[in-house]
A = this chain, B = another copy of it.
């Protein structure tokens, strides 16, 4: 578009995994956009819809009442990277580049900009599509909260809420039966959900990917509690947590198991090891997709709305290739290429870790 032209038609899409607050962002973008006289097109199923040419115009009635709804009215898709598109050719999956079709649809729809809501993957694709000439503004989305560029991401508070509520429930049944309860939560590389959820839910042991744990430290802590008359323990394990001893090696999404005990996920594994090595009755629960579903917490609804409104403001000001971000109490913007360069992992001396240790949480280590 020419520099003097005003933005008139925008697209919006949601990429990657589900996350409470997506609909609140869509509403936060669409309502003010329509107020400004823009036309808004909802691109269906993330970048998949952009490649395949599937979109529908959004009106006020489409975004009315969706603030409190989980999921995304636009649908999402895990497969849709236009630059690495899996295509079945003669019974085999071949990876092809369909980014030109994405661009063609962008032009055919006469779009002046796209607001892309998504995580790391979505931002990488957005950067590349920007380089091809599309005007893109990003909205960060990850329940894992592992983006350095923003203090917090929406969806994380809702995931922590689900974990904390589950721990509250497990506490009562653990204390009645003198049990160890293991709960496996999300977090393949970053342990924020386990850390914050465990801190909020009063976990006794928290195991996260950033702090490889020693089995003995876990057993000792549980047994020590037992000896002190607290006949139950709650262990909160991130799915990417791993023991120091090499019985579990994760590389990318592949998990190599060297211990015959380990059949299911890490939660089941930890439960079995504790039962075997302490003699205490142990049970485990895998929260799974419960952490991604349901109505967003008020905190996430507010953050999502602010993100959406800020994104459309950037579009109107033609500040493209930017991503909205929370800094303190303010929404700011950062360059997309800066946003995607750093993953925010839990540091062993993070205040949340130290606070957890101060109230008695063990991280599967003797000292650090």
Contact = CB atoms under 8 A, between A and B. Distances in A.
Q: Chain A contact residues (Cβ within 8 angstroms of B): what range?
A: 35 or more
A298 B160 contact: yes
B351 A173 contact: no
A329 interface: yes
Interface string A1-40: 0000000000000100110101000011001100100000
Contacts of A331: 351
A293 B157 contact: no
Contacts of A216: none
Contacts of A329: 151-152, 351
B32 A359 contact: yes
A172 B358 CA distance: 26
A175 B71 contact: yes
A290 interface: yes
Nearest to A30: B359
B286 A286 contact: yes
A223 to B, nearest CB: 17
A366 B28 CA distance: 21
A142 interface: no
A172 B302 contact: no
Copies in the complex: 4
A28 B355 contact: yes
Interface string A32-61: 100100000000010000000000000000
Contacts of A164: 298, 301
A292 interface: yes
A68 interface: yes
Interface in A161-178: 161-164, 166, 168-178
26 contacts: A17-B177, A20-B172, A35-B358, A67-B200, A70-B172, A75-B177, A76-B176, A151-B328, A151-B329, A160-B298, A160-B299, A168-B293, A168-B295, A169-B294, A170-B289, A200-B298, A264-B264, A283-B288, A283-B289, A284-B288, A285-B287, A285-B289, A299-B299, A310-B355, A312-B358, A328-B328
Interface of A: 14, 17-18, 20, 22, 27-28, 31-32, 35, 45, 64-65, 67-72, 75-78, 151-152, 157, 160-164, 166, 168-178, 181, 196-197, 199-202, 230, 263-264, 268, 281, 283-290, 292-295, 297-299, 301-302, 305-306, 309-310, 312, 327-331, 351-352, 354-356, 358-360
Ordered nearest first, which 7 A-B pairs have the shortest CB separation?
A70-B172, A169-B293, A200-B298, A71-B172, A169-B294, A71-B176, A164-B298
Given A67-B202, A197-B298, A329-B351, 9 more contacts: A17-B177, A31-B360, A69-B172, A71-B172, A166-B290, A169-B289, A181-B289, A305-B356, A312-B358
